[in-house]
Structures are given as structure tokens and as C-alpha cells.
Amino acid sequence: MDTIVLAYSGGLDTSIIIPWLKENYGCEVVAVCVDLGQGEELEPLREKAINSGAAKIYIENVKEEFVTDFIWPVLKSGALYEGKYLL
């Protein structure tokens, strides 16, 4: 059986697409959600994804990578004096 990995938000669109994918493609659906610091609001997604028909759900904690790879570079891009002193 084929497997589809779905970027899952828990909203109407991604919850409805799970049974549609299973029905139309005859596949297993694995839901993946990214934790950027949303906190407790992600926990209900586990039950919601499974109830929608997902075989599994993974909630990946990427807070550190998000800050290191995106937040700091954005802040530094406009807030450096002589290319090295934070303003």
C-alpha cells in the first residue's frame, strides 16, 4: 500500500482531504504537523487527525531550527552595524 505524507494543520481542508485521499488513491495517510511554538494547541490535532482517518500523526518540534535558520537571520539582516554589531 502506498503512503502519502500530509502537512496537517488540523483545519477543515486538511481534515477533509484525509478520507478523500484514502478513498481516491487507496493509500495510507500519515499526518505531519510542525511545532513552531504553538504550545498546547497542537495536542488536540493528534485525536483529530486519527479521527479523520490518518494512520499516524507526527508533531515535529522545530522551534530551535526555526529560530536559528529564520528568525535570527531576519533580525540580523536589518539590525547590524558594520556587519557584526547588533543594534
pLDDT of residue 87: 65
Across 7-23, average pLDDT: 97
Average pLDDT, the chain: 92
Neighbouring CB atoms inside 10 A of 75's CB total 13
Mean pLDDT of 22-31: 98
SS3 of 5, please? strand
- What is the reported pLDDT for 53? 98
Enumerate the domain spans of the chain: 3-86
Confidence tier at 76 by pLDDT (50, 70, 90): confident
Residue of higher predicted confidence among 39 and 9: 9
Confidence band for 78, pLDDT divided at 50, 70 and 90: confident
The matching CATH number, chosen from 3.40.50.620, 3.40.50.800, 3.40.250.10, 3.40.50.300, for 3-86 is 3.40.50.620
Torsion, Cα of 3, 9, 15, 19 (10° steps)? -10
Which is more confidently placed, 14 or 83?
Answer: 14
